[in-house]
């Protein structure tokens, strides 16, 4: 039986590859795609999600959600994703979104599902937090929440914090405190599987489908980060989805994860208690290592299942 999931995203170059992976994988049943502002504003992440979904031929419903965090102002990351969110790679437009707000759709779908639903958050988790805050009872039908979020150490958006976490720290605190199992793919797991020019060339040569080519074109637009040694680009969001499909590619560590919600330079930091120094009970399973070759084999194989 495929695993029922809702994918919450902010496409976003790495979101694009994660969305393709999810829609190409028979292990998953994507019940809905919900969209938040993040890498770029919702006015771009929404059409990007619609276009990416349409490119795969999928009829999965897409819902617009939050265009800002629970508290504070919206900030984007156009330096990595370009002003349009997909590195300037133009796709044929998708269809219209469903009229329901993403948070309402998450509540309705989880409430009605005969099987517990896995929530996959690869954006600022405002939509997921809104759903859980306005109808806490749905948590009983949430299998687990799998996130690309946070960092064991240095951040990428600030010295202290990862982008999704610092974009809406209060929302992440709500999710971490909701009582359901949380799995976190942090910055560090993606840093172990950088997409190098050689990886991209091999992936591009592996097939000729429009989705494979779009994935390669989008990934090729991503600048290499100095923080990662300029050797390649990190596939943050695909790591979170890949864990659902091939958990054996990863090792994990149960840990207590708390949020710095202060106004200072550490705001949005995920404080991951790897050695149990605080005595606080573990509230998350944090990915520690990845079989990088296995990830690229999975991505290449699945992208070639798409049109
Ligand atoms: O820090 C990386 C995360 O922030 C990824 O989800 C990327 O798409 C951005 O949303
Ligand atoms: Ca994302």
Is the CB–ligand 1 distance for residue 97 below 6 Å?
A: no
Looking at all shown ligands, the one closest to residue 147's CA atom is 1
Q: Write out the residues surrounding ion ligand 2, Cβ under 5 A.
A: 10, 12, 15, 122-123, 237
* Predicted model pTM: 0.98
Does the CB atom of residue 236 touch ligand 1 within 6 A? yes
pLDDT-based confidence at residue 285 (cuts at 50, 70, 90): very high
CA of 164 to the centre of ligand 1 (A): 6
Give one word for 88, left, alpha or beta, with left for phi > 0 and alpha for psi -120 to 50: left
- Alpha carbons 33 and 20: distance in angstroms, whole number: 12
Distance, in Å, from the CA atom of 237 to the CA atom of 222, rounded to the nearest integer, reads 14
Average pLDDT over the chain reads: 97
* CB-CB neighbours of 245 under 10 Å: 18
Of 107, 91, 3, 108, the residue nearest 48 (C-alpha):
91
pLDDT at 81: 84
Which of 128, 164, 241 gets mutated to test ligand 1 (max ligand atoms within 8 A of its CB)?
164
At 175, list the tokens.
Answer: 């999710």
Radius of gyration of the chain from Cα atoms? 18
Tokens of 209: 């489908």
Work out the angle at residue 224's Cα, subtended by the Cα atoms of residues 220 and 227, and round it to the nearest 5 degrees.
155
What percent of the chain has a predicted confidence (pLDDT) above 90? 96
Q: What is the pLDDT of residue 153?
A: 97
Once rounded to an integer, what is the mean pLDDT over residues 82-91? 94
Ligand 1 pocket check for 10: Cβ under 6 Å: yes
**CATH 3.90.245.10 given to domain 3-303:** yes
> What's residue 79's pLDDT?
84
User: Per residue in 100-133, pLDDT tens?
Assistant: 999 999 999 999 999 999 999 999 999 999 999 9
Q: What is the pLDDT of residue 82?
A: 86
For ligand 1, the distance from its centroid to the CA atom of residue 16, given in whole angstroms, is 11
CA 102/CA 118 separation, integer angstroms: 15
How confident is the model at residue 77, as a pLDDT? 85
The reported pLDDT for the residue numbered 49 is 98
| Residue 145 dihedral angles phi and psi, to the nearest 5° | -120, 120
Whether the CB of 12 sits within 6 Å of ligand 1: yes
72 Cβ partners below 8 Å, 6+ apart?
none
Report the first-to-last Cα separation within the chain, whole angstroms. Answer: 24
Residues 231-272 have pLDDT tens digits of 999 999 999 999 999 999 999 999 999 999 999 999 999 999
Q: Give the per-residue pLDDT at 187.
A: 98
Q: Which of 169, 236, 240 to mutate to test the pocket of ligand 1 (most atoms within 8 A of CB)?
A: 236
Angstrom CA distances, 115 to 1, 2, 140, 246, stand at: 10, 11, 11, 21
Contact (Cβ atoms closer than 8 angstroms) between residue 145 and residue 173? no
Q: Where residue 80 falls among pLDDT bands split at 50, 70, 90?
A: confident
List strands edge to edge, sheet with 28-35: 62-64, 28-35, 3-9, 117-121, 142-148, 182-185, 284-290, 250-259, 270-273
């Amino acid at each position: 039986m495929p695993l029922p999931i809702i994918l919450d995203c902010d496409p976003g170059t790495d979101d694009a590859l994660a969305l393709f992976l999810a829609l190409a994988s028979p292990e998953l049943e994507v019940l809905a795609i919900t969209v938040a502002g993040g890498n770029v504003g919702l006015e771009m992440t929404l059409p990007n999600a619609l276009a990416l979904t349409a490119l795969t031929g999928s009829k999965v419903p897409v819902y617009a959600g939050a265009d800002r965090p629970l508290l504070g102002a919206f900030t984007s990351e156009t330096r990595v994703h370009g002003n349009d969110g997909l590195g300037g790679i133009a796709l044929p437009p998708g269809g219209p979104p469903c009229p329901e707000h993403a948070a309402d759709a998450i509540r309705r779908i989880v409430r009605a599902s005969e099987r517990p639903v896995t929530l996959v958050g690869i954006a600022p988790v405002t939509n997921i937090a809104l759903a859980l805050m306005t109808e806490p009872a749905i948590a009983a039908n949430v299998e687990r929440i799998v996130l690309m979020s946070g960092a064991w150490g240095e951040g990428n958006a600030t010295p202290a914090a990862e982008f999704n976490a610092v974009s809406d720290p209060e929302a992440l605190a709500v999710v971490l405190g909701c009582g359901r199992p949380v799995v976190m793919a942090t910055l560090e797991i993606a840093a172990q599987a950088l997409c190098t020019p050689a990886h991209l060339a091999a992936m591009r040569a592996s097939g000729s489908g429009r989705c494979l080519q779009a994935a390669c074109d989008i990934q090729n637009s991503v600048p290499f980060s100095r923080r990662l040694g300029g050797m390649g680009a990190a596939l943050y969001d695909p790591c979170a989805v890949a864990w659902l499909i091939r958990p054996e590619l990863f090792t994990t560590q149960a840990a207590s994860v708390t949020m710095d919600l202060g106004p200072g330079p550490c705001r949005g930091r995920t404080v991951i208690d790897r050695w149990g120094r605080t005595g606080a009970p573990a509230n998350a399973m944090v990915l520690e290592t990845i079989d990088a070759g296995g990830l690229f084999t999975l991505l290449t194989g699945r992208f070639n299942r798409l049109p």
